[in-house]
Structure 1
Amino acid sequence: MNRQPRWIEEAFIEKADLFLKVLEWQWERAEEEAKLIANLLRKYGIKDEAKLLEVGCGNGRILINLAKLGYRTWGVDISPKLINDGIKKARERGVEGKVEFVICDVRELSKFFKRGFFDAVLAVWTSIIGYYLNDDVDVRVLKECRYVTKDGGHLFVLNTVNRDVLTLRHSLRCIFPSFEELDDVVLVEKPTFDPLTSTISNKWTFYKKAANKDLKYLGEFEFKLRVYSLHELINIAKRAGWKYVASYTDLTTLRDFVPSLSGFNLVFETLT
């Protein structure tokens, strides 16, 4: 197995408290996001009581809300901190019996789940794909997803960064530092994009809002992702046993995908 990139251990394990601040902020819109995903699932015949797996689930904002809508959900993540927080949230929201969390390297799903166990697999918010900066590893990840999905099942890659958008923004010099207020925390981002290697690097620095409008430094980490265009992701998925079905600009309108204008919302079905 390829070695784990150093940033994964730093961001999700050693400094998981920092990453958790970003996930907590995303919970504000998680219920609505889950409803949109459920609409998409139903469009492809995946109804209540279906068994869903979310890879890179974090602290469960999507799968917990899908469980509240009637689905049986499982989530895997490499971070014990995030998984333990997800277990706590499932208990607080009354769906503890409908959600299961597993601390797991997504490259080894077949060690934790039986062949064909799930009706569908979800990868949401640029999760997992591209983390290892290696196309062959991404194929392996999607093969593992295929192994645990039943014949005729589906893979959904949602709210995922699109290389064409980054290329356009790079050419227009529109990739620059920015900040986001996460309640009492300020997140400063410093992204860069390399079109030659199709990689985006980013440095996230966290500050606590203090008295007199001062900011107190909390910590930082950097990460680097491989990003794909539509045809590249389709080819990688095909190598892993998935057939491309559809792509959408957004989950609200489900309009057909337009290159260079949005991230990915992709649907794949198992190859038989």
Structure 2
Amino acid sequence: MENLYDHWADVYDDIYAYLTEDKDFYLEWAKDSIGPVLELGCGTGRITIPIAQNDVDIVGIDISPKMIEVAKKKLEEKKVTSKIDLLIEDMRNFQLNQKFSLIIIPFRGFLSLLSVDDQISTLTSIKKHMHRDTRLVFDIFVPKEDIISKSDNLLYYFKDVSHDSRIGHSEVWHKTDYDLFNQRISSKVIVDEIGDKGKVINRYYKDFEIRYIHRWEMFHLLNSCGFKIEDLYGTFSYESFDENSNEMIWVAKLA
């Protein structure tokens, strides 16, 4: 996993600019906490920076130096003056010598852990940074059987991305393969940069891999690692989880 996401740093914000529904959710949790907040897998600061802009002390860690570099540049551009620390750390084994009132892992960051051992190591590291009233809040998607059983590995169109700073736009394509035995999803993202004449002027390939987790698997993992589950939501609007939910948003504390 080390430095795996460095090659995403230059395009991450453009591709995932559509992600907005989780921002208010995590911001609300951060504002309601007494601080400080810890974010694991902070990336380019998509969630971290808005929290800091609301005068909440926050520490963001990410394994990618380039992601952290982009986040720091955004801090300078936005002239954020709140207390915010961005650190290059591995969520599987970090030691910050500090406890937090809230620990968050937005946008399915927990799924970047590709083995049960990595998941346990991460939860063990998290526990060292919690006190009795700390809440751990994170989201993962629901692995729907009708989707993961279709491993055709076909290339499909994902979205268009506009560029504010230059002419043209980008077309984003996905190619996904499912390993049902190991519960892994391997994705190849192809980004075609389209010039003002409608022709492809650059093409970039971005790969990533995640390990999906079923509901009761996550339930037992949290319990076995010494956590008590307080809530499980199915949406970022706090709707209860049910068989139609696409998201699993977990809230846990120390048992």
**Could you say which TM-score interval applies, normalised by the shorter chain?**
0.7 to 0.9
- From the superposition, tell whether residues 161 and 91 of structure 1 become closer, same or farther in structure 2 (CA, over 3 Å): same
> What's 1:168 paired with?
146
State whether structure 2 residue 126 is matched by structure 1 residue 145: yes
Secondary structure of the structure 2 residue equivalent to 1:168: helix
How big is the alpha-carbon RMSD for the aligned residues of Structure 1 and Structure 2? 2.4
State whether structure 2 residue 1 is matched by structure 1 residue 12: no
Q: Normalized against structure 1, the TM-score is what?
A: 0.81
> What's 1:104 paired with?
89
- Give the Å deviation of 1:180: 1.5
Letter in 2 for 1:162: V
Alignment of 1:177-196 (within 5 A): 177-183=156-162, 184-196=169-181
Could you tell me which of 235, 241, 250 is aligned with 1:257? Answer: 241
Structure 1 segments unaligned to the other structure (5+ residues): none
- Give the Å deviation of 1:27: 4.7
- From the superposition, tell whether residues 79 and 96 of structure 1 become closer, same or farther in structure 2 (CA, over 3 Å): farther
The superposition leaves residues 188-235 of structure 1 with CA deviations (integer Å, 9 ceiling, x where unpaired) of 111122333222111111111113211234321322211001111122
- From the superposition, tell whether residues 82 and 146 of structure 1 become closer, same or farther in structure 2 (CA, over 3 Å): same
- From the superposition, tell whether residues 264 and 185 of structure 1 become closer, same or farther in structure 2 (CA, over 3 Å): same
Count of residue correspondences? 248
Residues 93 and 121 in structure 2, CA contact (< 8 A), matched pair in contact too:
no
Structure with the higher strand share, 1 or 2: 2
Q: Normalized against structure 2, the TM-score is what?
A: 0.86
Secondary structure of the structure 2 residue equivalent to 1:61: coil
State whether structure 2 residue 103 is matched by structure 1 residue 121: yes
Letter in 2 for 1:133: L
- From the superposition, tell whether residues 105 and 215 of structure 1 become closer, same or farther in structure 2 (CA, over 3 Å): same
1:215 and 1:182 map into 2 onto residues whose CA distance is 14
Could you tell me which of 12, 15, 20 is aligned with 1:22? Answer: 12
The superposition leaves residues 94-133 of structure 1 with CA deviations (integer Å, 9 ceiling, x where unpaired) of 32442110011112212xx115x11111111111x23242
